[in-house]
């Protein structure tokens, strides 16, 4: 697929981050976009940004509220876009939606753990299941599943558990690699790619908190304050156990800001890398120099990948400040 003009793209998690930037860049290339998200307001802003320059006549950008972990939501999304986009086929599927959280089997609830896993993995699986007939109906199509560097390295540091997200992203990577031959055998005109970003400047920290809590607030609730204080103490933050609730709230807000604003790769840059990878029909798309370097190092010394020396030398080399 050398260009996207006149094509129809589906994007999950289109309200913010890479999903928003994928929508903007696809629309700029003349591609119709149907996006879903749990936040109607966030999607409205994405659509506004897509329409800042007047859209060409007939180009469609549609928004659909859906939780990708719920199959009936995705089926409703599919049926709405078929009607609103006036189509029985799509050319591009970006399974991009994801959240963090549920990192520990010990300190997080089962509900938090499974919420993360069911969105990050279940949303990809159900997305492919739901839209595969529409992809097969097109003359050419491409599935793009967003994993992470945590799909080949299950860590964000020595002092913080990261099991739910990592397990989900390993599943996305394996699933997409297995799809290569499944598609080759049964629908050779449909291609697929697994995207593995490093640290990308997005709002995933704050958005994950909103989805996990279900209250849409920017502030931590009392249980989250207590858990954050415990996590900070385990990470070696001086006097974390003595910090006030207001100090904990401020530390969380700063972490969310830093993740968004201090990342080595912006969401717009990431979207460009992904779309260039689709055009080049690359099945494996690493996003960011940090992702490339981490991939090299894990492959070179897999037995040492979870040792403290590996992590400390990696963070010094790529400039990460995680945890």
- Rounded CA-CA distance 166/68 in Å is 18
Q: How does pLDDT run across 10-37, given as a tens digit for each residue?
A: 999 999 999 999 999 999 999 999 999 9
What number is the average pLDDT over the span 87-112?
95
- Rounded CA-CA distance 106/55 in Å is 50
For the question of whether the overall pTM of this predicted structure is more than 0.75, the answer is yes
Would you call 34 helix, strand, or coil by DSSP? strand
Q: Which residues of 226-243 are buried (b: 16+ CB within 10 A; e: fewer)?
A: ebbbebbbbeeeeebeeb
- Rounded CA-CA distance 113/208 in Å is 12
CA distances from 247 to 101, 226, 242, 258 (A): 21, 12, 10, 16
Q: Would you state the pLDDT for residue 136?
A: 98
CA distances from 79 to 34, 72, 119, 141, 263 (A): 11, 11, 20, 19, 37
For residue 322, name the pLDDT band (cuts at 50, 70, 90): very low
User: In terms of DSSP bridges, do strands 265-266 and 92-95 run parallel, antiparallel, or are they unpaired?
Assistant: unpaired
Q: How does pLDDT run across 179-203, given as a tens digit for each residue?
A: 999 999 999 999 999 999 998 987 6
DSSP run (H or E) holding 231: helix 222-234
């Amino acid at each position: 697929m050398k260009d996207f003009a006149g094509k129809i793209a589906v994007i999950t998690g289109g309200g913010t981050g890479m999903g928003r930037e994928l929508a903007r860049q696809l629309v700029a290339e003349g591609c119709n976009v149907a996006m879903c998200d749990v936040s109607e307001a966030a999607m409205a802003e994405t659509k506004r940004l897509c329409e800042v320059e007047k859209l060409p006549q007939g180009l469609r950008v549609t928004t659909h509220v859906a939780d990708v972990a719920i199959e009936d939501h995705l089926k409703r999304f599919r049926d709405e876009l078929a009607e609103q986009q006036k189509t029985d086929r799509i050319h591009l599927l970006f399974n991009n939606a994801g959240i963090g959280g549920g990192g520990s089997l010990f300190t997080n609830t089962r509900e938090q753990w499974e919420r993360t896993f069911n969105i990050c993995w279940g949303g990809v699986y159900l997305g492919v299941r739901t839209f595969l007939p529409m992809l097969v109906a097109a003359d050419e199509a491409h599935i793009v599943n967003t994993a992470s560097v945590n799909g080949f390295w299950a860590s964000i540091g020595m002092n913080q558990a990261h099991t739910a997200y990592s397990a989900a992203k390993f599943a996305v990577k394996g699933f997409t690699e297995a799809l290569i031959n499944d598609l080759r055998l049964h629908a050779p005109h449909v291609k697929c790619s697994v995207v593995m970003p490093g640290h990308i400047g997005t709002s995933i920290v704050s958005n994950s908190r909103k989805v996990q809590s279900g209250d849409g607030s920017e502030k931590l609730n009392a249980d989250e304050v207590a858990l954050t204080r415990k996590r900070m103490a385990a990470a070696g933050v001086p006097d974390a156990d003595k910090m006030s609730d207001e100090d904990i709230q401020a530390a969380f807000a700063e972490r969310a800001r830093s993740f968004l604003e201090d990342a080595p790769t912006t969401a717009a840059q990431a979207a460009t890398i992904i779309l260039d990878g689709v055009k080049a029909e690359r099945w494996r798309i690493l996003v960011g120099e940090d992702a490339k370097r981490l991939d090299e190092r894990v492959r070179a010394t897999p037995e040492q990948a979870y040792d403290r020396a590996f992590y400390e030398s990696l963070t010094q080399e790529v400039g990460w400040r995680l945890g």
